[in-house]
Amino acid sequence: MPTVNLNKNELEKLAGKKLSIDKLKDRISMLGTDLEDIKGNEIIVEVFPDRPDMLSEQGFARAFSSFIGVKKGLREYKAKKSNYNLIIDDSVKNIRPFTSCAIVKNLKFDGEKIKQVIQIQEKLHVGYGRNRKKCAIGIYPLEKIKFPIHYRALEPEKIIFTPLESKREMNGNEILEKHPAGKEYGHLLKEKNKFPVFVDAGNNILSMPPIINSENTGKITGKTKEIFIEVSGFDYNVVSKCLSIIVCSLIDMKGIAYEIELKYGNKKITSPSLKPESMKIDINYANKILGLNLRENDIKNYLERMGYDYSKGKVIIPCYRTDIMHQADIIEDIAIAYGYENFKEEIPNVSTLGSEDESEKFKRKIKDILIGFGYLECNSYNLISGDVLNKMEIKMNNIKVLNPVNIDYNTLRSWMIPSLMKILSENKHHEYPQKIFEAGTAFEKEESENLGLLSCHANANFTEVKQILDYMFNALGLKYNLEEAEHDSFIKGRAGMIKCNGKKMGYIGELHPKIITNFNLELPVAGFEINLSELSKLVIQY
């Protein structure tokens, strides 16, 4: 989960109230975030991924102060009119088609503030921006830029500028190959024949999104007071929302925002869009879902505690909220404001009949028989190493998973006995006889519940496991027969295919000494494997 680092003093100032640590902890957690750590004056809070607007000190404090009742209701965010223009060229259409931009003036980037701005940018990149894939943010000192700006795509060879943190000019390809940011995010531009750039009226390249800004025109410092911000991506709504989140935080830092007119061909869009949206709310529906009897006035009050306004059946939603898709999202916020701790729990008088899955019942009965024979139940992963399966010396079409993090567990087991052999090989230092079984899932062509059983001791043999098989089938009221099987995991002439009603159910036999040696064991092993899913079908018919 994403986290945000907050300065406790700053938070108190912004939220407008001082709270004891315990109260702070409690309120933060009841707002739906989680206080992860307090280090001196620094508070680290986990924020749910649907609330990117809370990933800055300002955004968090904004939500928090409403929630604790200090500053309730919708805040007004506005951008002033201006003459700034930005022209979006057709050439970006198939590359990175959208951008949304703003100007913010009157900023003071002293040490703490500049850190905050970088934090917002990074957190938005990682979460909401899906590592710059969905949207990427660029911030530039306004004094170095001449409007109008063009957003266009150029051949990489024609893109020549000095990227941030670099001492020399590079072209687009060189940046991808050599610059650290290029190496990290270059894959986002791979297979494109042109790369997107922002170019100002002086023909200076400001940046090559979503990779890197220019060292000359795209570096903000403690002295920067006025900035140009752009967000680029693949969906206008997404980039516009992302821009709103940053601009609102900058306004909370006492910045003054100015509009930019975006020219998409003949279409003109004014950006940033800080206007609140509205959504209808059905108060009956809200009460039904929450199990409450809230009146319109209560609803209004709770909505204001979550930073909304309410007017005549409509909820006014601040522009920085990205997560409101359905009134259900608003209803949850009402519940949070009402306080999860204040709900009266109730178990409704609804009668339904419980029932267990038949296969689970069957499995338990089989297990009880084996436990009665003194066998110990084991429990292993369905994912196993392909090497373990290979030790059985038979070829099967094992199902592999694509790029597993743990290479030792890369294959779904096709039968149970390999897992059990592995267990025996890891328990050589413990007392014998070792008699074990496992009923679990195996993946041979189809998924099935399988039973594997092994007996390992100095005199382990075919007879002893066949006795168990005999008893089991008898107890189930079934008859089985064994057909001599050619199975390389077992000793030839001591292996049988178990058949019931003409259907293959599994194998029984003495494990071949080669297999025993493959698993580094020294004692004889005998056992069987049965497909319980198939077997249970025969039993349930009776």
Partner 1 sequence: MKEVAESLSPLERKIFPLIKDNISLNELIDKSRLKEVEVIRALQWLENKELINVRKESKEIIEIDSNGRKILKEDLPEKRFLKSILNKELSLNEIIEKAKLDKDELNAALGLLKRNSCIILGNKIKITEAGKKYLNDNRIEDFLKKLPLDKNKADKILYNELKGRKELIKENLVKDRISDLTSKGRELQKLNLKDDYIESLTINVIKNKEWVNKKFRRYDININVPKVYPGKKHFVNEALDYARRIWLEMGFKEMKGNIIQTAFWNFDALYTSQDHSVREMQDTFYLKEKGRLPDKEIVNKVRAAHENGWNTGSKGWQYKWNPEEAMKKVLRTHTTCLSAQTLSKLKKEELPAKFFSVGRCYRNETLDFSHLFEFNQTEGIVVDENANLRHLMGYLREFATKMGFPKVRFRPAYFPYTEPSLEGDVYDPVHKKWIEFIAAGIFRPEVTKPLLGKDVPVLAWGPGIDRIITAAYNIKDIRDIYKNDLKQLRESKMWLK
Give dist(CA 493, CA 484) in Å, integer.
Answer: 7
Binding residues for partner 1 restricted to 329-348, rule: CB under 8 A: 329, 331-332, 335-336, 340-341, 343-348
The token pair at 286 is 């809200």
- Say if residue 439 is exposed, middle or buried (CB neighbours under 10 Å; 0-12, 13-18, 19+): buried
Beta bridge partner(s), residue 490: 511
Query: Would you count residue 379 as binding partner 1 (CB under 8 A)?
Result: yes
In whole angstroms, the minimum distance from the beta carbon of 103 to partner 1 comes to 27
The helix or strand, by DSSP H or E, that contains position 261, with its residue range, turns out to be strand 256-264
Give dist(CA 391, CA 150) in Å, integer.
Answer: 64
Give dist(CA 87, CA 98) in Å, integer.
Answer: 11
Query: Would you count residue 405 as binding partner 1 (CB under 8 A)?
Result: yes
> Which of 351, 397, 458, 486 lies at the binding interface for partner 1 (CB under 8 A)?
351
Which span (173-181, 266-274, 404-412, 477-485) binds partner 1, by CB under 8 A?
A: 404-412
Number of residues that bind partner 1 (CB under 8 A): 82
Query: Would you count residue 257 as binding partner 1 (CB under 8 A)?
Result: no
Query: Would you count residue 380 as binding partner 1 (CB under 8 A)?
Result: yes
Beta bridge partner(s), residue 34: 46
The helix or strand, by DSSP H or E, that contains position 112, with its residue range, turns out to be helix 111-126
Q: If DSSP states are collapsed to H, E and C, what string results for 15-64?
A: HCCCCCHHHHHHHHHHCCCEEEEEECCEEEEECCCCCHHHCCHHHHHHHH
Binding residues for partner 1 restricted to 189-228, rule: CB under 8 A: none
Which span (12-20, 69-77, 289-297, 471-479) binds partner 1, by CB under 8 A?
A: 289-297
Query: Would you count residue 467 as binding partner 1 (CB under 8 A)?
Result: no
Longest CA span, the chain: 93
Query: Would you count residue 402 as binding partner 1 (CB under 8 A)?
Result: yes
Residue placing its CB nearer to partner 1 in the complex, 8 or 27: 27
Query: Would you count residue 540 as binding partner 1 (CB under 8 A)?
Result: no
Q: Taking the CA of residue 120 as centre, how many other CA atoms within 13 Å lie in the half-sphere pointing to its CB?
A: 27
> Which of 45, 197, 436, 472 lies at the binding interface for partner 1 (CB under 8 A)?
436
> Which of 41, 83, 237, 270 lies at the binding interface for partner 1 (CB under 8 A)?
237
Identity at 146, one-letter amino acid code: K
Over the Cα atoms of the chain, what is R_g? 33
For residue 421, the tally of other CB atoms under 10 A from its CB is 26
Which span (171-179, 263-271, 360-368, 505-513) binds partner 1, by CB under 8 A?
A: 360-368
Residue placing its CB nearer to partner 1 in the complex, 269 or 292: 292
In whole angstroms, the minimum distance from the beta carbon of 413 to partner 1 comes to 11
Query: Would you count residue 354 as binding partner 1 (CB under 8 A)?
Result: yes
The token pair at 5 is 């680092």
Query: Would you count residue 434 as binding partner 1 (CB under 8 A)?
Result: yes
Cβ contacts of 9 within 8 Å, gap of 6 or more: 41
Cβ contacts of 315 within 8 Å, gap of 6 or more: 278, 279, 280, 281, 303, 308, 309, 327, 330
DSSP 8-state code for residue 53: G
Query: Would you count residue 35 as binding partner 1 (CB under 8 A)?
Result: no
In whole angstroms, the minimum distance from the beta carbon of 134 to partner 1 comes to 7
The token pair at 162 is 């000095």
Binding residues for partner 1 restricted to 293-332, rule: CB under 8 A: 325-329, 331-332
Query: Would you count residue 401 as binding partner 1 (CB under 8 A)?
Result: yes
Binding residues for partner 1 restricted to 447-466, rule: CB under 8 A: 447
The helix or strand, by DSSP H or E, that contains position 386, with its residue range, turns out to be helix 386-390
Give dist(CA 117, CA 86) in Å, integer.
Answer: 23
Task: Find where tokens 């957190």 sit.
Answer: 123
> Which of 293, 356, 458, 542 lies at the binding interface for partner 1 (CB under 8 A)?
356
Residue placing its CB nearer to partner 1 in the complex, 298 or 332: 332
Query: Would you count residue 431 as binding partner 1 (CB under 8 A)?
Result: yes
Residue placing its CB nearer to partner 1 in the complex, 136 or 412: 412
Query: Would you count residue 283 as binding partner 1 (CB under 8 A)?
Result: no
Opening angle at CA 126, ends 151 and 72, nearest 5: 95
Binding residues for partner 1 restricted to 496-515, rule: CB under 8 A: none
In whole angstroms, the minimum distance from the beta carbon of 86 to partner 1 comes to 23
Query: Would you count residue 381 as binding partner 1 (CB under 8 A)?
Result: yes
Give dist(CA 391, CA 272) in Å, integer.
Answer: 64
Residue placing its CB nearer to partner 1 in the complex, 78 or 130: 130
Q: Taking the CA of residue 84 as centre, how many other CA atoms within 13 Å lie in the half-sphere pointing to its CB?
A: 27
In whole angstroms, the minimum distance from the beta carbon of 307 to partner 1 comes to 15
Which span (78-86, 153-161, 266-274, 436-444) binds partner 1, by CB under 8 A?
A: 436-444
Residue placing its CB nearer to partner 1 in the complex, 328 or 475: 328
Residue placing its CB nearer to partner 1 in the complex, 336 or 538: 336
